[in-house]
Amino acid sequence: MGEDLFKALADSTRRRILDELVERDGQTLFEICTRLVTKYGIGLSRQAISQHLAVLESAGLVSTRRQGRYKFHDLNTEPLERIVTRWLRPDAREEPQ
């Protein structure tokens, strides 16, 4: 579980991609590239962004679905939830805030 997930999160570009998917899930590669350039000035090629998405997908953080000729990327937070709950103390989970 851990190595792929931490490797995926270690890169700032991949974290930005996740930020964009949090803001608007179900984006195409073109949409992600456009948002990265517009908001952050990250002008990587489509191939480079595609490679970042492949790392995120192999870590389980992004899932894809095809609709016609388009491929949509969706955020999957389940691996992050497993990491967070792994180190929480049982008594800390039950305390009201």
pTM to 2 decimal places: 0.85
Distance (Å) of CA 91 to CA 40, 85, 88: 40, 12, 8
Burial (CB < 10 A; 0-12, 13-18, 19+), residue 76, is: middle
CA atoms 31, 7, 10, 62: torsion sign: positive
pLDDT above 70 for 95: no
Q: Tell me: the pLDDT tens digits for 5-47?
A: 999 999 999 999 999 999 999 999 999 999 999 999 999 999 9
Phi then psi dihedrals of residue 91, to 5 deg: -75, -25
Q: Tell me: the pLDDT tens digits for 44-83?
A: 999 999 999 999 999 999 999 999 999 999 999 999 998 8
